[in-house]
């Protein structure tokens, strides 16, 4: 029995340590994920509000109602718009109008950092607008409260510390008072903790005992309930964001449709060349806004859980060949040699129309990156249960920062920031489509002027 007890003590101690590690990892990862998701959500909201402001600027009317509605979606403390010299010309609080921002707030890139605002710590997002004055961008700033993140983080840390303390006490008690009747509850808690660490929050531990193990189970169950509640709140917030984007897209699409239809007729009847040139500029911007709205609606639709794909066995080489053939005029116009290197015996499980959409987006993006012509190659390889597809070009290449951010919403590389044919959502849509297939997508480049390879995975279907 002494040997049995020693082995038993070691086994249960290992279970406690495993449970402690799992709980600590869970608390840390959930805290990081919560903060990251909330920041990403506000960053996307800032992007949408920025586009609304740019649209209002072009239309000659600030979209106060749209901005006020956007401010309701979360704890936005304030927002403002400033000229390149720092002068605030528009803000959620009229007392801020006419004030000057210091140089640290004037940035040509998207930035975020914490500031003190009226005695409260606020996360500030600086978003450069595509409105320029003497070659410099206007700035959109939005500050949101960190209270939900701080409260959630403190709650997670508190529960984690309580659980760790209880587990430490249990290890000391088990080493002296080990008996067979505690093996079952320890095993239950350990298994439930590991399931939670894998993301399964539908866990509830029932213990038929008392003392510290029952306290541990109660704390564990309370922690899981709190985590589940926070996850549901996060899902609700993300759903509200998608609903807002979808509604905003429809509201913008309605007036743009007749405008884009009537402008060509007006241009055709106009005799004055200068007036025609101005009308052409308006038409290009209207078409850009229309494409931006359509891409935004497409992205919102892909984010919706109800969106389902028609997955079936698809010959990858045939789809690639068809897409390359349809883009042949584009290749000829830009002096690009396109080649299909996908073997004819490779099949994938995919939605064929969505797969064509991904390939068209990637090819269109590659063509833009080869202004002086070049070579474009589509290839694929089988790796276990997956097929890895590569779209390689010999274009301008990417920096390390661009590789990390190229799939972010509304992000554009430097040369395409003022390209009205690019909305900054094409690669984001590709990412959502590939993720809906259960795959992943990434970019590889050795640097500027060394070409780019976009790769993504799809389930193999033999």
* CATH number of the domain to which 380 belongs: 3.30.565.10
Q: Are 330 and 405 contained in the same domain? A: yes
Same structural domain for residues 67 and 118?
yes
Residue 306 has what pLDDT?
61
Above 70 in pLDDT, residue 71? yes
What's the confidence (pLDDT) of residue 390? Answer: 94
Same domain, 447 and 324: yes
Both 335 and 270 in one domain: the answer is no
Q: Does 319 share its domain with 412?
A: yes
Stretch 321-341: mean pLDDT: 90
d(CA 166, CA 182): 15
* pLDDT tens digits along 84-102: 888 998 888 888 888 888 8
For residue 391, report the phi and psi dihedrals to the nearest 5 degrees: -115, 105
Same structural domain, 336 and 446: yes
Long-range contacts of the stretch 30-36 (C-beta < 8 A, 24+) = 30/156, 30/227, 30/230, 31/152, 31/153, 31/156, 31/157, 34/149, 34/152, 34/153, 34/230, 34/234, 35/149, 35/153
Q: Do residues 284 and 260 both lie within one domain?
A: yes
Domain's final residue, options 149, 178, 206: 149
Rounded Cα distance, 431 and 444, in Å? 15
In a domain, 51, yes or no: no
Domain C-terminal end among 191, 215, 232: 232
User: Mind listing the pLDDT tens digit for each residue in 250-281?
Assistant: 665 566 667 667 767 777 777 778 877 777 77
Interval 109-126 mean pLDDT: 88
Question: Whose CA is closest to 140, among 83, 87, 90, 80?
Answer: 80
Q: Are residues 330 and 424 in the same domain?
A: yes
- Contact status, residue 132 vs residue 138, Cβ threshold 8 Å: yes
Is 192 within the bounds of a domain?
yes
CA dist 207 and 214 (Å) reads 6
Asked if residue 381 belongs to a domain, the reply is yes
How confident is the model at residue 320, as a pLDDT?
92
Residue 347 has pLDDT above 90, yes or no: yes
- Among the residue ranges 111-115, 382-386, 412-416, 433-437, the one predicted with the least confidence is 412-416
pLDDT digits (tens, 9 = 90+) for 184-207: 666 777 777 777 777 777 777 777
Place of tokens 């590569």: 390
| Residue 420 pLDDT class (50, 70, 90 cuts) | very low
* Residue 185 resides in a domain: yes
Lowest mean pLDDT among 53-57, 64-68, 169-173, 420-424: 420-424
Largest CA distance in the chain: 104
217 confidence band (pLDDT: 50, 70, 90):
confident
Total count of domains within the chain: 4
Q: Are residues 161 and 124 in the same domain?
A: no
How confident is the prediction for the chain on average, in pLDDT?
78
Do 258 and 113 have their domain in common? no
For 95, the domain range is 62-149
Kindly state whether residue 95 falls inside one of the protein's structural domains.
yes
Helical spans, DSSP H, in 60-74: 64-71
Q: Is the pLDDT of residue 148 over 50?
A: yes
Which distant-in-sequence residues (6+ apart) come within 8 Å of 422 by Cβ? 368, 412, 416
Burial of 170 (0-12, 13-18, 19+ CB in 10 A): buried
CATH of the domain at 141: 3.30.450.20
Tell whether 12 and 160 lie within a shared domain.
yes
User: How many angstroms from the chain centroid is the CA of residue 268?
Assistant: 42
How far is it, in rounded angstroms, from Cα 149 to Cα 155? 10
Whether residues 145 and 216 share a domain: the answer is: no
pLDDT at 375: 92
Given a cut of 50, whether residue 416 has pLDDT beyond it is no
Which of 283, 303, 323 is where one domain is finished?
A: 303
CA distance 298 to 432: 10
Question: Does residue 443 lie within any of the structural domains?
Answer: yes
Write out pLDDT tens, residues 304-316: 666 677 788 999 9
Structural domain contains residue 183? yes
pLDDT digits (tens, 9 = 90+) for 357-395: 889 889 988 898 888 889 999 999 999 899 999 999 998
**Position 383 in a domain:** yes
């Amino acid at each position: 029995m002494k040997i049995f007890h020693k082995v038993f003590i070691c086994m249960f101690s290992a279970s406690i340590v495993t449970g402690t590690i799992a709980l600590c990892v869970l608390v840390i990862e959930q805290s990081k994920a919560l903060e990251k998701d909330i920041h990403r959500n506000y960053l996307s909201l800032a992007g949408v509000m920025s586009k609304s402001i740019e649209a209002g600027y072009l239309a000659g009317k600030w979209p106060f109602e749209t901005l006020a509605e956007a401010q309701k979606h979360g704890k936005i403390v304030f927002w403002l718009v400033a000229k390149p010299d720092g002068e605030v010309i528009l803000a959620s609080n009229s007392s801020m109008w006419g004030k000057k921002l210091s140089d640290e707030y004037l940035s040509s890139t998207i930035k975020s950092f914490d500031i003190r605002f009226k005695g409260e710590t606020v996360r500030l997002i600086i978003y450069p607008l595509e409105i320029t004055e003497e070659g410099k961008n206007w700035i959109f700033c939005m500050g949101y409260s960190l209270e939900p993140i701080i409260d959630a983080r403190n709650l997670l840390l508190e529960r984690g510390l309580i659980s760790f303390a209880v587990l430490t006490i249990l290890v000391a008690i088990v080493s002296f008072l080990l008996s067979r009747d505690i093996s079952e509850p320890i095993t239950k808690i350990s298994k439930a903790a590991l399931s939670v660490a894998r993301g399964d929050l539908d866990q509830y531990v029932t213990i038929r005992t008392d003392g510290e193990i029952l306290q541990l189970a109660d704390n564990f169950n309370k922690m899981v309930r709190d985590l589940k509640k926070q996850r549901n709140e996060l899902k609700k917030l993300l759903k509200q964001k998608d609903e807002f984007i979808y509604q905003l897209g429809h509201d913008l699409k309605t007036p743009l449709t007749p405008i884009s239809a009537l402008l060509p007729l007006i241009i055709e009847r106009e005799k004055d060349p200068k007036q025609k040139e101005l009308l052409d500029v308006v038409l290009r911007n209207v078409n850009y806004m229309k494409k931006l709205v359509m891409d935004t609606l497409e992205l919102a639709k892909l984010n919706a859980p109800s969106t389902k794909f028609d997955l079936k066995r698809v010959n990858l080489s045939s789809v690639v060949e068809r897409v390359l053939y349809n883009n042949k005029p584009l290749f000829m116009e830009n002096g690009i040699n396109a080649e299909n290197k996908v073997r004819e015996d490779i099949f994938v499980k995919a939605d064929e129309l969505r797969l064509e959409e991904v390939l068209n987006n990637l090819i269109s993006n590659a063509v833009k990156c080869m202004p002086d012509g070049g070579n474009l190659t589509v290839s694929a390889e089988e790796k276990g249960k997956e097929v890895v597809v590569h779209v390689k070009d010999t274009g301008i290449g990417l920096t390390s920062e661009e590789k990390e951010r190229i799939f972010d919403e509304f992000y554009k590389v430097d040369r395409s920031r003022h390209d009205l044919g690019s909305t900054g959502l094409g690669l984001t849509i590709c990412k959502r489509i590939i993720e809906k297939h259960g795959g992943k997508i990434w970019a590889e480049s050795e640097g500027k002027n060394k070409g780019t390879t976009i790769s993504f995975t799809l389930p193999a279907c033999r």
